[in-house]
Amino acid sequence: MESEALGGQAGTSSLIRNYLGFPSGLSGRNLAHRASQQALLFGAQFVYDSAVGLSRSGQDLTVALAGGSRAVARAVVLATGAKYRTLEARGIHELLGAGVFYGAAASEAPAMAGRRVYVIGGGNSAGQAAIHFARYAARVTLVVRGTSLKEPMSSYLITEINANEIIDVRFETRVVAAHGTGQLDQLTLRDGQSRTVQVPADALFALIGAQPHTEWLRGTVACDHHGFVLTGSDLSASDETASWPINRGPLLLETNIPGAFAAGDLRQGSIKRVASAVGEGAIAIHLVHQYLRLAGSAD
């Protein structure tokens, strides 16, 4: 069951403009409703409850639900998503998906050609995003709450940012408001002396952290130190395949539990976009069929 809206993080977006087939965009609520109706037509059943545990016995996987019931299946797709830390600034929610974005994706960068891009964050993700956007944008401004980049960001990124003439860094600065009618066009910034300035802006990317909804999987499914689920080759890289119970390697989106797959924002290395999450879901279902064939041949 979704805690905020059908469709999770995407379902709360006022406008999604980068989903194939909707050139003028559509609301997250509308997209989620269309998806749920389509799923019902294909025979899917919805159970409105919260998952609290996952276990494997033989070839059966059991999902324990908060209401006390259990769902047993041969395969499970985990798609509980993540919640981004949100900006407490006026106008941000209204322009979400219309110039304001949480997270960054390589696929977004070419669309920023010739534009004024603001990136919020002082960590490695924000630094990497600023450098990548600088390949396309007219100007990139990194907005940092702290007084320097030295503590949270790797030294090689700091060197690249300082050497890049396209990137500006504003220290001790916060975004306090976003402005625009249907599309972001200005931001209000406030510095450490409480002085405010209004600046033109075409896009704002906030990289201030995300919390995956994986608390209920801890101790069962292998996750990285941020709580994102490890899958496929990432399991081998982290030595999580040491206890792998069957005689084959994990499939592309398979977790350390055979038959349990992960797709979307809860997975380590995911793109954090609606289109890519839908694509991962489709791949996961293909892998479920592959897994069932493999498991059947092993019986």
Boundaries of every domain in the chain: 47-84+212-298, 93-206
Among 23-27, 137-141, 237-241, name the one with the lowest average pLDDT: 237-241
What confidence tier does 106 reach under pLDDT thresholds 50, 70, 90? low
- Name the helix (H) or strand (E) containing 118: strand 116-120
**Percentage of the chain modeled with pLDDT above 70:** 94
DSSP SS3 for 276: helix
The pLDDT value given to residue 187: 98
Give pLDDT, residue 128: 87
**Coil vs helix vs strand at 15:** coil
Residue 186, classed as helix, strand or coil, is strand
The CATH number that domain 93-206 falls under is: 3.50.50.60
* Mean local confidence (pLDDT), 223-250: 87
- Work out the pLDDT band at 27, boundaries 50, 70, 90: confident
CA distance 50 to 66: 5
Q: In degrees to the nearest 10, what's the CA dihedral of 164, 166, 170, 174? A: -130
pLDDT at position 1, please?
45
Over residues 107-126, the mean pLDDT reads: 89
- 4 pLDDT band, cuts 50/70/90, is low
Contacts of 83 (CB under 8 A, 6+ apart): 9, 210, 211, 213
Q: What is the pLDDT of residue 208?
A: 87
Q: In terms of Cα–Cα distance, which of 160, 120, 113 is closest to 137? A: 113
What pLDDT score was predicted for residue 238?
A: 78
pTM above 0.85, yes or no: no
Topology match between the domains 47-84+212-298 and 93-206? yes
pLDDT at 217: 95
Report pLDDT digits (tens) over 148-182. 988 778 898 999 999 999 999 999 999 999 999 99
Using the predicted structure, report yes or no on whether residue 216 has a pLDDT greater than 80. Answer: yes
Q: Which superfamily does 47-84+212-298 belong to?
A: FAD/NAD(P)-binding domain (3.50.50.60)
Local confidence band at 5 (pLDDT 50, 70, 90 cut-offs): low
Q: What is the mean pLDDT of residues 211-219?
A: 92
CA-wise closest residue to 120 among 86, 154, 95: 86
**8-state DSSP, 46:** -
Q: What is the pLDDT of residue 14?
A: 64
Whether the per-residue pLDDT at 80 is higher than 50: the answer is yes
Question: 3 pLDDT exceeds 60?
Answer: no
Q: What is the pLDDT, as a whole number, of residue 273?
A: 80
Handedness of CA 161, 167, 168, 171 (dihedral sign): negative
**Mean pLDDT for the chain overall:** 90
